[in-house]
Chains A and B, each alone.
Chain A
Amino acid sequence: MIKVEQISKSVKGKSPVGNMAIETSILKEISFEIGRGDFVAVMGPSGSGKSTLLYSVSGMDQVTAGRIVFDGINLTEMNEESLSRLRLNKMGFVFQNAQMLKNLSLFDNLILPGLVAKKEKAQVIRNRVRDLMIRMDIDELGGRDIREVSGGQLQRASICRAMINNPEVLFLDEPTGALNSAATDQVLDILEALNDEGTTIMTVTHDPRVALRAKKVIYIRDGEITGEKEFPVGGDREQALEDWLKRV
């Protein structure tokens, strides 16, 4: 479904000493594939380039070299307009700190992408949001201001919003980074369920609990993939992951 071929990304800047022009490499010739229905977790230390990789694969960030092919379309050759439409119709995105529009109630924030896409009637979209909110256990919060709900509730709401247009793939950037343990479990249960229903998921995380729910883990260090492993269901996945992380 997604084919990442030899992508590199570098940024130009100035050296702290001597104020010289330098080029810093963030991603170095990275390649991997995500199949339909996959659940991929990208792990790595801070500054390793994992968020950049996620934003690049979702078309929100531009790469310096290489190709990203989504359903046969090369994202690196698409213009901004087409990428926006693609994000609207085929992708869902969840940020580390749930980002919502301040001037809309929580409910209106969730239906907005559906109304903008205009693929279905407004009533159908509203019903779907209500269903999703019930599923995420936030159905009582629809009329609230986004500053009146907790971080965990807001993160679940973000997932609702990301799912509103029935995306083919869900991108998540540290989805549990700002949550407590109970909220984290709740969010992960939902993600697992969505994946079971066929939604492809790519997430960036520090948290091994997230990686444990994934089917495949990619480890990245200094902009390079240092490990890639599938963890089949069954057996002691926690131990296997721990051992693997020690090795990569």
Chain B
Amino acid sequence: MKLLLNLVRKDFKRNPAITTALTVFLILAALLMAGGLRVAGTMISAYDGLNQKALPPDYLQIHKGEYDSAALDRFAASQDNIQDFLTVRMLTINNANIIYHGETLEKVLMDNSFVVQNQGFDYLLDMDNQIATVKDGEIGVPVYYADTLGIATGDVITLKKDDYIKELKVTTIIRDAQMNVAMTSSKRFLISPADQEVLSLHMGEWEVSFEFLLKEGVDTGILEQAYAAANLPANGVAITASLLNLFNVFSYGLVAMIIIVISLLLIFMAMLCLSFIIRATMADEQTAIGEMKAIGFPGKAIATLYQLKYQILMGVAGIIGYLGAIPFGNFFAEAVVRYCGTGSNPGLKWVLPFLGLLFLSGMVAWGCHRVVKKNLHSTVVELLQGAGGRRREGHYILPSSGFKHTNLTIALGELTCKWREYGVILLVFIFVAFLMLLPMNMKQTIQDPSFITYMGVGESDIRIDIQYSSQLTQQQERVLAVLENDPDIEKYAIYKNGYVQAENDQGEGVNIRVESGDESVFPLAYLAGQAPVGKNELALSSMNATELDKKVGDELTVVYGGETMNLTVAGIYQDITYGGKTAKAAIDFNNQDVEVYILYLSLADGVDLDLKTNELRGALPDIKATPVPSFIAQTLGGIVDNLSRVEAAAMVIALLLSALVTVMFLKLVMAREHRDIAVKKAIGFTNRDIRIQLGIRLLVIQGLGILVGTVLANTLGEGIFSLMLSSMGATRMTLLIQPLKAYLICPAIQLLVVAITVIGGTRAVKHYHIKEQIME
């Protein structure tokens, strides 16, 4: 063993650059693997812990207006699978009436409800995950606002409508298992029952949520169908636990998922590099291996000798990766801990990374063993013949008319002979380009104004919501009057939003949110068909079309206000708002059934978006005006923030990886070609010529890698992005690419990093002594 360790130590000394680069590579893979699993462990524990304490409902139905509570009680009593039932009264207050630090919450897209603590289940928890309590004059603020607006305990929230003002002191920050994440578009403030009653006399609108907790193992679908069949109050959206789970997993899990995927790809790359290095080392040491075999050194001991080094490296990388994953994982899991707490099983964040690293070590050990064993199969004679047994690389032909660009011609010629050697590094460069571009393109797409088309609307600049008032119609008329006379506004359209009942293919009734208005003002690109024309047509969001099993040309029966209508599906579009389930039809909603009036408007050229938004907010204090880019960002919640983090991390990892692999590869190539380098020097090539030739070879491969990586990021990446957003309702995404950034700046940075690494890495050519290299 001592002998083996000695040999390993000597090998480290002989190839410090390769060994260091490989170690960093393995550390990076271990760090990401352990870090991703730490985030996952923290997330599982935190999310589970929050749900155990808060007991969110399995099914809830929002309703506005009158309802028969006795009928609901009878229904709950008649269903064996219901464990508990709750009617939650929510006082929804316009954001313009909620003031914090002298500013209204108009900038915030969220709908804000003021609720009292529930009894039995669906508890709002404090930051210690205990059931939160507030006294009169106190308020519990959602952790989302603590996070995004910086609201803290001790602050004051003012509620103001006309002359009425109510101040509430923030005494607790609320964790809400149902509406915690940015992707759920409503938030709940906790107030005392007395405050809720008083407030309701002056502002806001009552909404109720009928919430059901099911017995263990009962499928939500059964209750959903039973509820619809019982003809119970349901003029709002119905939400299932699985939809909430989806939002939560998407919000909390996205980063962990991306890190783990990157780490898996990195492990794949590390395995390729390891295999390449082992093969290169063993090919160069065939004579030594032959001699060891010839003097009777057991094959197992030779295999151990060559594997030991990499196992030691993996051990070191594993320890560093595990320790490094603590701050790394904590950084990325910070949000989930803040929103959910440390949870029910804090040990998971220690165990999962450990298991992950065991898996990684196992993979490395197995990979090494396979390559070493394969290379040890040769006979002693074959091994002693050494390089003679190596695969021939073939010839390239010098140009008959002489050199125009000597180094370029030679580098390209050599590349055509040695292309097999470059397979690994080509894969790494493809991966690097892909890794850098995909998050960047995703972010670019989400931030582009045209992304609004995935929200079921054509391109526009500002969205105005008019809701939560008993005077919606009057408000709406006032808004229209302002817009009509404003020369800064190029065009606008108003849409009434309400619910109708439709029948799915099993004949069950489902509530569908319908938008009614002039669809020609902001034309939308339809996945299939076109915008509905007249009163007999409707368009469905793709999620609704799938769920109702309808395609263009099919008929759908809808019921509104007691009237049954047979509408033809004219078009199918993508929409990620309202859980992806919306429709467009010319339904003549009664004013009291309009949940919200939404206006979209386009500004004239040269009008500043933010200034105009503020101006509208000032002129129309009761409405919610949101610039479309903020609307997109807020609808997608933390995805944009997460993508920014991932984009930055991906760029650092990708560039580091490029540099590391370039160093490693250069060292191996130079070691393998030391004789050729010496010959070139002897016949008159300068060190600079040789370095340029090595550089050109790598940069050409990198160029190819960037090309393939870019194509993959735009094709495969588009698929990945569509898959990510399909759960939200957008099934066919087109990645929007900023050509300057994606096709020029990004490749230029990658090429620059590799070029600088080549300049540094080939410096050793100067020290390649012709005599020593040739006589060796």
Contacts and interface: CB of A to CB of B under 8 A. Distances in A.
Contact of B771 (A55, A88, A97, A113): A55
Interface string A93-123: 1011101111111001001110111100110
A209 interface: no
A243 B267 CA distance: 70
A87 B678 CA distance: 13
B395 A93 contact: no
Contacts of B149: none
Contact of B688 (A60, A81, A100, A118): A81
Interface string B384-420: 0000100011111111111100100000011001100
B407 to A, nearest CB: 10
A85 interface: yes
B400 A116 contact: no
Contact of A103 (B395, B678, B683, B688): B395
Contacts of B351: none
A60 to B, nearest CB: 5
B89 interface: no
Contacts of B685: 84, 88, 116
B413 A115 contact: no
Nearest to B390: A102
A61 interface: yes
A161 interface: yes
A241 to B, nearest CB: 26
Given A52-B771, A103-B395, A80 B684 contact: no
B398 A103 contact: no
A76 interface: no
B775 interface: yes
B393 A116 contact: no
Contact of A118 (B392, B395, B402): B402
Contact of A108 (B398, B770, B775): B398
A101 B774 CA distance: 12
A223 B675 CA distance: 27
Contacts of B687: 80-81, 84
A145 B683 contact: no
Nearest to B682: A93
Contacts of A237: none
A225 B774 CA distance: 25
A99 B687 CA distance: 18
A116 B406 contact: yes
A85 B775 CA distance: 23
A116 B686 contact: no
Nearest to B398: A108
Q: Is the interface of B mostly helix, strand, loop or mixed?
A: helix
Given A61-B769, A122-B402, A103 B686 contact: no
A93 B689 CA distance: 19
Contacts of A52: 771
Contacts of A87: 682-684
A147 interface: yes
Given A51-B771, A101-B676, A84 B686 contact: yes
A103 B393 contact: yes
Contacts of A80: 686-687, 766
A199 interface: no
A95 B676 CA distance: 13
B64 interface: no
A101 B686 contact: no
A93 B398 contact: no
B774 A95 contact: yes
Interface in A120-154: 121-122, 125-126, 145, 147
Interface residues of B, number: 38
A46 B394 CA distance: 37
B396 A103 contact: yes
Contacts of B398: 104, 108, 111-112, 115
A77 B681 CA distance: 18
Contact of A104 (B395, B406, B418): B395
A116 B403 contact: yes
Nearest to B396: A103
A55 to B, nearest CB: 5
A112 B676 CA distance: 13
A204 to B, nearest CB: 11
Contacts of A97: 774
A176 interface: no
A55 B676 CA distance: 17
B319 interface: no
Contacts of B766: 80
B684 A103 contact: no
A89 interface: yes
A122 B675 CA distance: 26
For A55, A85, A116, which residue has the most chain B Cβ atoms within 10 angstroms?
Answer: A116
Nearest to B769: A61
Of B684, B771, B775, chain A has the most CB atoms within 10 Å of the CB of B684
B21 interface: no
Nearest to A174: B775
Contacts of B612: none
A105 B395 contact: yes
Contact of B679 (A51, A81, A96, A99): A99
A116 B388 contact: no
A101 B684 CA distance: 13
23 contacts: A55-B770, A60-B681, A60-B682, A60-B770, A84-B684, A88-B683, A95-B682, A101-B676, A101-B680, A103-B393, A103-B394, A103-B395, A108-B397, A111-B398, A112-B683, A115-B399, A116-B683, A118-B403, A121-B402, A122-B400, A145-B395, A147-B388, A147-B392
Given A60-B682, A102-B393, A118-B402, 12 more contacts: A84-B681, A84-B687, A88-B683, A103-B394, A103-B396, A104-B396, A105-B395, A115-B398, A115-B402, A115-B406, A122-B402, A147-B388
Interface of B: 388, 392-403, 406, 413-414, 417-418, 675-676, 678-689, 766, 769-771, 774-775
List the 8 closest pairs (A to B, CB-CB), nearest first: A88-B684, A122-B402, A84-B686, A103-B417, A55-B771, A113-B683, A60-B770, A99-B679
